[in-house]
Amino acid sequence: MKQGYALFLVAIAAGALALVPVLAPPFYANLLVPFYGYAIALLGFNLLFGYAGLLSFGHALFLGLGAYTAAVLAGLWGVKEFEVVLLAAALAGLILALPLGWLAVRYRGIFFGMLTLAFGMLAHAVLFKFYHLTGGDSGMRVPRMHLLGLEFAAYNKFELLAGPFYYYCLILCGLAAFLMWRIVHSPFGLHLRSLRDNAQKAAYLGVHVHQFRLAAFAISGIYGAVGGTILGFRTGLADPELVYWTHSGHLVFMTVLGGFSSFLGPVIGALALTLLQDQLQSLTQYWRLVLGAILALVVIFLPRGLAGLAVDLGLFFGRRSAPSAASTTETA
């Protein structure tokens, strides 16, 4: 019943998002494209944080990897098919995540966080300094690509993003969410949650603690790289700022805002921050200050984030409507 209700809400939300290019000005569809990139990346990020209990402060590394993979394949090597780029980015994410994860998952808490931060900063330094390879602070161009073999030549970039690419990302995000749903509800997902709660007890129940953490790290790396490919396609650029630590902080912000204890919490956080940031930037030059204050308020008053608030409100109104329904029955 509860799951059916949640599925109903998800269907409503997906329907509303599908109507954005039809009903809202193209600006909003274009604005929401990065949301899909972040949503996919955060689904992976939260497998690591919410389900395996490992908070990475360098996860933007994988978003940058996805964008640079697109830049190299499409910009340098002339690959036109976005699906090929997506697969290559996912593979690159896996290949990078395995050695980094192998080193990082031996640690927990602040040590894991600092190690991942260090990986991110190393990547930033490489991208920034190796100008002849990476374009330095100018980054690398990500040209537009074909979607499902279609060039969409009649569309300019803005129209492509606000139309076909928007729906492409919506479906990709839906598939990524479905796949992640299966993963977190699988026996593998159960073992991940068990080691998050009590690694020693989990080991005595036969949970391969390090192997499972590494697997979660690798999957999150794949999701991050795929998300980064969308960001690169949208801006047409892969630049070092994508892997900078503040961008990793951005991912943590979105996750906390939406709520990491809920499956869709980080996705809600990504949507909320994308819209909030746009509105605040148009209102005040001190938008970062306002965002910081909002984050502080969320941590203090909504530790389970917006998703937790939604659940609590649903329970509150459910309880209120239950007695009134009962009294109606009695009156009748």
Partner 1 sequence: MSPQAPTAAPPRPPLGVSSPLIETVGVGKTYGGFRALEDVSIAVRAGEFVSIVGPNGAGKTTLVNLLTGLLVPSKGAVYFKGRNIAGAGPVTLATQGMARTFQLVQIFPELTVAETIAAAVVTRQGKRWRLLLPLVQDGEIATRVAAIAGMFGLASRLATLSRLLSQGEKKLLDVASAFALDPQVILLDEPTSGVSTAEKHAVMTTLVGAARAAGVQAIILVEHDMDLVAAYSHRIIALSEGRVLADLPPDEFFADPVIIETVVGKRRGVSC
Among 207, 276, 302, 309, binds partner 1 (CB under 8 A): 207
Number of residues that bind partner 1 (CB under 8 A): 25
Encoded one letter per residue, x for contact with partner 1 by CB under 8 A and - for no contact, window 160-179 reads: -------------------x
Distance of closest approach, residue 154 Cβ to partner 1, in angstroms: 39
d(C-alpha 76, C-alpha 301), whole Å: 49
Q: Which amino acid is at 67?
A: A
Under rule CB under 8 A, residue 198 binds partner 1: yes
Task: Give the interface segment with partner 1, choosing from 54-62, 77-85, 207-215, 286-294 (CB under 8 A).
Answer: 207-215
Cα-Cα-Cα-Cα torsion 324, 328, 329, 332, nearest 10 degrees, comes to 170
Among 129, 208, 288, 320, binds partner 1 (CB under 8 A): 208
Contacts of partner 1 in 209-248 (CB under 8 A): 209
Under rule CB under 8 A, residue 4 binds partner 1: no
Distance of closest approach, residue 66 Cβ to partner 1, in angstroms: 21
User: Nearer to partner 1 by C-beta: 91 or 283?
Assistant: 91
d(C-alpha 99, C-alpha 297), whole Å: 37
Residues 6+ apart with CB under 8 A from 114: 57
List the one residue out of 84, 116, 110 whose CA is nearest residue 216.
Answer: 116
The owner of tokens 């590394």 is 61
Secondary structure letter of residue 73 according to DSSP: I
User: Nearer to partner 1 by C-beta: 38 or 212?
Assistant: 212
User: The tokens of 29 are what?
Assistant: 């569809």
User: The tokens of 98 are what?
Assistant: 């395995």
Distance of closest approach, residue 8 Cβ to partner 1, in angstroms: 19
d(C-alpha 28, C-alpha 17), whole Å: 10
| Residues contributing to the site for partner 1 (CB under 8 A) | 179, 182-183, 185-191, 193-194, 196-198, 200-209
